[in-house]
Chain A
């Protein structure tokens, strides 16, 4: 599948020139396959039609009931199943609950048929995660609500829907293509003024922002915040990037009584006068999240365009200019698969980042690093590798780059075999403190060689770096060597483009070093830092 030039099949029984033009405009490089006018029945019947000789990234079905009048529900069920296999993802637009043909004498049995058809599509989508169902009304906005069917457009061009309806379809399609490119959203970065609340906090003051209360705009922004919190409950992280004075903006977040998103709901923020693209890139780096997993919300078209240009991987939807439409627009995004594929680990990430924010704030309250470490009430657990922790250990081994001594990459079974070999020991390191548990965040692989213990793997997640976990791991290795009557610990670093932090750490902690070889004498002089509880689980 080449998503640089996604292939989209648009199945409709009406003129789709407007829809196609808008899809091409929104999804650069896309190849849109339209079908000849009034050819739906032929396409459904002819499995060997040339149109089916291609496989598509996305199929969009948007037909009137008139186009499939002659088919029974059973026949259509068969056809829908078959054609959905021709694309990686299908978007089905259901049948409007009323005849769109002015000469039709609409009767109850026709209404029943429309219900049946929509039920068929819904059932089809429920059984298949790569199918989505919409009703035409999902693409209506305040702007096009009254003009959805334009008699002029129909009689002059056989276009059924107003162009703005197709504009919304193109936006939804754009999100699906982004998701198909592997860009499931993990982090939503939002602007503040006129995006999370109405008004400019720097000019108006937090007391005068439009948020909640008996005010149409305020109510809409309150709903926007609720939708974002709903996304958060599904595991998506929330952050803020805004051009404002940080203190002024944070004061609004803390003090405005109608603020639903609280400071603790945010994993980070960059509130300053710098370029927003630069701030988003910095946040992504800090949070260790790929740019393709970021969705950026901003009311200002110029800021959106700037971010799109500077960071093309970030998904930047065009928010409706009418503030009252924004909650409906976000609701449409909510229905997309974009937010649906979130793992348990992703869900925990928000909690871990929240803990990290609390830790940073707590650190600032302490005079020295030692005092702060002591106050954290840390507990570090060394646990031998077993089948229970094998999966997470393998993941950590294979994805950690910075604090990684030799950057060995191994599969689960290979790692387990190595750990079970005579003379080898492999431990996982779990860290928790008064703010919560960081889980399994370190690995220590050791190999006995003559009178020395060789460090084969020293891996630590950046999540817990700088809290003396590193020193505890070295002390643990020394104590392990002592128990076996060995005299030395030796670590030979294999340098990579990314593991310089590991080299610097070993230079700082070792007894002796020679280029990339670091040694420690086994003896009593190494002990665990004060105030950290160490738990060593037996093999």
Chain B
């Protein structure tokens, strides 16, 4: 098993959450204060019917956040090649974008199937 494959096999939700928080930090530098994401696992990302809490991001903000995350994952040596497809996330936004937790779960599940 190569070193990289070993990493994907070992990828955990905590690791992905850590990347989500880093992406959020980067994303926040360009946001107004009231539109910044909190670095919490239960931070709601997107407002949708059926979600109990309102999210901070509108559809444009959501794409911006996902693009920031995508670039971060591409940039980091240990996550280059990690499967992350923005359009796939958006297709399943009802589940994948409920909050940071849900997004981390989604990414882990996509990569554990590799």
| Residue positions of A touching B, CB distance < 8 A | 15, 17-18, 21-22, 24-25, 147, 150, 152-153, 155-157, 159, 162-164, 167
Q: List 21 A-B contacts (CB under 8 A).
A: A15-B60, A18-B60, A21-B30, A21-B32, A22-B30, A24-B32, A25-B30, A152-B63, A152-B70, A152-B86, A152-B87, A153-B67, A155-B87, A156-B63, A156-B86, A157-B59, A157-B60, A162-B67, A163-B30, A163-B64, A163-B67
B24 at the interface (CB under 8 A from A): no
Q: Assess whether B42 is interfacial by the CB under 8 Å rule.
A: no
Does B41 sit within 8 A of A, measured CB to CB? no
Residues of B within 8 A of A152 (CB): 63, 66-67, 70, 86-87
A17 with B67, Cβ < 8 A, contacts A156-B90, A167-B30 known: no
- Report how far A152 CA is from B67 CA in the complex, Å: 7
For the complex, is B71 an interface residue (Cβ under 8 Å from A)? yes
A159 CA to B90 CA, complexed, in Å: 17
| Identity of the chain B residue whose Cβ is nearest the Cβ of A24 in the assembled complex | B32
Chain B residue total in the interface (Cβ 8 A) = 15
B32–A153 contact, CB under 8 A? no
Which residues of B are found within 8 Å of A25, using beta-carbon distances? 30-32
Residues of A with C-beta under 8 A to B32 = 21, 24-25
Q: Which of B48-89 contact A (CB under 8 A)?
A: 59-60, 63-64, 66-68, 70-71, 86-87
Q: Which residues of chain B have C-beta atoms less than 8 A from A163's C-beta?
A: 30, 64, 67-68
Secondary structure call for the A interface = helix
B residues whose Cβ falls under 8 Å from a Cβ of A: 30-32, 59-60, 63-64, 66-68, 70-71, 86-87, 90
Provide the bound-state CA to CA distance between A167 and B60, in Å: 16
The distance from the CB of B31 to the nearest CB of chain A, in whole angstroms, is 8
B31 proximity list for chain A (CB < 8 A): 21, 25
A150 to B60, CA, bound (A): 14
A157-B59, A157-B60, A162-B67 given. 5 additional CB < 8 A pairs?
A152-B70, A152-B87, A153-B67, A163-B30, A163-B67
Q: Is the CB of A150 within 8 A of B67?
A: yes
With the chains together, A162 CA to B30 CA distance in Å?
12
Find chain B residues with CB under 8 A from A17 CB: 60
Q: Which 3 A-B pairs have CB atoms at the shortest separation, nearest pair first?
A: A152-B86, A156-B63, A17-B60
Closest to B35 in A: A21
Report the Cα distance A167→B32, complex, angstroms: 13
Contacts of B66 in A (CB 8 A): 152
Are the CB atoms of B30 and A156 closer together than 8 Å?
A: no
- Complex interface: chain B residues within 8 A of A15 (CB): 60
Q: How far is the CB of A102 from chain B (nearest CB, A)?
A: 16
A153 CA / B71 CA spacing, docked (Å) = 12
Closest residue of chain B to A22 (Cβ to Cβ) is B30
Q: In the complex, A153 Cα to B67 Cα: how many Å?
A: 7
A301, closest chain B residue (CB)? B29
Residues on B with beta carbons closer than 8 Å to the beta carbon of A159: 60
A156 to B30, CA, bound (A): 20
Of listed A24, A156, A164, A167, residue having the most chain B CB within 10 A: A156
Q: In the docked arrangement, what's the CA distance between A162 and B86, Å?
A: 15
- Measured in the bound complex, the distance between the Cα atoms of B59 and A434 in whole Å is 69
Query: Which of B68, B71, B87 is the most central at the interface, judged by chain A CB atoms within 10 Å of its CB?
Result: B71
Please, which residues of chain B bring their CB within 8 A of the CB of A147?
67, 71
Which residues of B have CB within 8 Å of A24? 32
Contacts of A21 in B (CB 8 A): 30-32
* Complex Cα–Cα for A17 and B61 (A): 10
Distance A59 CA – B24 CA, assembled complex (angstroms):
32
User: Which chain A residues border B71 with CB–CB below 8 Å?
Assistant: 147
Smallest CB separation, A329 vs chain B (Å): 16
A153 to B90, CA, bound (A): 13
In angstroms, Cα B61 to Cα A163, docked, is 11
In the assembled complex, the Cα of A157 lies from the Cα of B90 at a distance in Å of: 12
Q: Which residue of chain B has the shortest Cβ distance to A164 in the bound complex?
A: B30
Chain B residue numbers with a CB within 8 Å of A164 are 30
Who on chain B is nearest to A15 by CB? B60
How far does the alpha carbon of A150 sit from the alpha carbon of B66 in the complex, in Å?
11
Q: How many whole Å from B35's CB to the nearest CB in chain A? A: 8
Complexed CA–CA distance, A150 and B68 (Å): 11
- Closest Cβ of chain B to A164, distance in Å, is 8
Please report the C-alpha to C-alpha distance between residue A460 and residue B73 in the assembled complex, in whole angstroms.
65
B70 smallest CB distance to A (angstroms): 7
Could you say which residues of chain A place their CB within 8 Å of the CB of B87? 152, 155-156
Interface-central residue, A22, A150, A152, A155, by most chain B CB under 10 Å = A152
Alpha-carbon distance A159/B67, docked complex (angstroms): 12
Cβ contacts under 8 Å, A162 to chain B: 67
**What's the Cα separation between A162 and B74 when bound, in Å?**
15
Closest to B33 in A: A25
Q: Which residue of B lies closest to A18 (CB)?
A: B64
Q: Which residues of chain A come closer than 8 Å to B68, judged between CB atoms?
A: 163
Q: Which residues of B contact A150 (CB under 8 A)?
A: 67
A157 to B64, CA, bound (A): 9
